[in-house]
Amino acid sequence: MQAALLSILGLALIGSLCAQEDVPVQPDFQPEKFTGKWYSIGLASNAKWFQDKKALMKMCTTVIESTPEGNLDVTSTYPKSDRCEKRNSLYIKTDQPGRFSYTSQRWGSQHDIRVVETNYDEYALVYTKKVKDTNTFTMVLLYGRTKELSPERLEKFTQFSKGQGLPEDAILILPKSDQCMEVAV
């Protein structure tokens, strides 16, 4: 009985690891159309920081600009207590259009970022695999060009997140907020 249970758990682990490697990237990704202002509508993650802070999280804005080298300069502005905090990241392009890498100097983590799906003028679904030391975390973001997306887009985000092995309690539709929404594009 114990051996059978361990076999099942092992197969489930292998399946989830393979699923992460098979995460698609937007076909014919066009970075110039991906730039501009986005709202963070949904966030899902199995990272401890997310579980600890998700009750305090609100919608934030992200501005994406293309660099001359084809990388993405990403600036997120989010409410933190009674002020607005900015975080800048430089996503380095890879050989696969729509896939980027990022190294956090602050946290010492490596990020594999994939634009899974976007229509550029309404929504974007972005997957990140983060590796720090021997730990691997998954994060899925749902961006919108406006603060509202259709129930179908929200459901697609939820189902994609679950498909990456994230449980229901690790998936959050961010509460709307007017705090920190006025950012220059």
pLDDT tens for 154-183 read: 999 999 999 999 999 999 999 988 887 765
Q: For the domain that residue 41 is a member of, what is the CATH number?
A: 2.40.128.20
Domain annotation covers residue 53: yes
Domain annotation covers residue 123: yes
pLDDT in tens, 16-75: 443 446 899 999 999 999 999 999 999 999 998 898 888 889 999 999 999 999 999 999
182 φ, ψ to 5°? -90, 90
pLDDT for res 183: 54
d(CA 90, CA 159): 28
pLDDT for res 11: 38
pLDDT for res 137: 95
Domain annotation covers residue 105: yes
Per-residue confidence band for 112, with pLDDT thresholds at 50, 70 and 90: very high
pLDDT for res 181: 74
Distances in whole angstroms, Cα of residue 170 to Cα of each of 41, 74, 181? 14, 24, 25
pLDDT for res 21: 63
- Higher pLDDT pick, 142 / 180: 142
Domain annotation covers residue 23: no
Domain annotation covers residue 177: no
Q: Which of 113, 109, 115 is nearest to 92 (CA)?
A: 113
Mean pLDDT of 92-102: 97
Cβ atoms of residues 43 and 50 within 8 Å? yes
Count of domains for the chain: 1
Q: Which of 95, 84, 132, 81 is nearest to 111 (CA)?
A: 132
Domain annotation covers residue 128: yes
Active site residues: 60
Cβ atoms of residues 123 and 149 within 8 Å? yes
Per-residue confidence band for 102, with pLDDT thresholds at 50, 70 and 90: very high
Mean pLDDT of 69-84: 90
Whether the per-residue pLDDT at 84 is higher than 60: the answer is yes
Domain coverage including residue 99: 29-171
Domain annotation covers residue 59: yes
Domain annotation covers residue 179: no
Whether the per-residue pLDDT at 83 is higher than 70: the answer is yes
Kindly state the tokens that stand for 73. 């300069």
pLDDT for res 6: 37
Q: Give the up-direction half-sphere exposure of residue 123: CA atoms within 13 A in the CB hemisphere.
A: 18
